[in-house]
Amino acid sequence: MSGERFAERVHALVARIPSGNVATYGDLAAYAGRPRAARQAGYAMHRCPPGLPWHRVINAQGRLSVAAGSTAWLTQRRRLEEEGVVFMGGRIELARYRWAGPNED
């Protein structure tokens, strides 16, 4: 566990986010034991291995952190909406969909 790479812990956490829920980069960093490494969680997601529900990771403002209009952006938004997540003014209501963490799932 301790020798595990931070990015691997983040990826393992992403795999556990339930459908219909989302987690911010800061949340993932905190759940991974590094509360101030949100930026690094973003780095880890940029290099996200295939097969993970990466679309459930957004920023603290309830917005998607990929380039707006890009195919990735379209895919992320479509997948979230398919899971029941509602966008209002390009944002989602975090308080409503935020994943409570690995100890609550």
Please give the residue ranges that form the binding site for DNA (CB under 7 A): 5-8, 24-27, 34, 36-48, 54, 57, 59-61, 65-66, 72, 76, 89, 91
Q: How far apart are CA 20 and CA 57, in angstroms?
A: 11
In angstroms, what is the minimal distance from the CB of 69 to DNA?
A: 14
Kindly tell me which of 18 and 46 has the beta carbon lying closer to DNA: 46
In angstroms, what is the minimal distance from the CB of 92 to DNA?
A: 12
Instruction: Give how far the C-alpha of residue 61 lies from the chain's centroid of Cα atoms, to the nearest Å.
Output: 12
Kindly tell me which of 25 and 97 has the beta carbon lying closer to DNA: 25
The answer to whether the beta carbons of residues 80 and 56 sit under 8 Å apart is yes
Residue type at 99?
W
Kindly tell me which of 2 and 103 has the beta carbon lying closer to DNA: 2
Q: How far apart are CA 72 and CA 31, in angstroms?
A: 25
In angstroms, what is the minimal distance from the CB of 22 to DNA?
A: 11
In angstroms, what is the minimal distance from the CB of 33 to DNA?
A: 9
Q: How far apart are CA 31 and CA 97, in angstroms?
A: 17
- Bridge partners of residue 22, in order along the sequence: 98
State both tokens at 89. 């003014």
Kindly tell me which of 18 and 40 has the beta carbon lying closer to DNA: 40
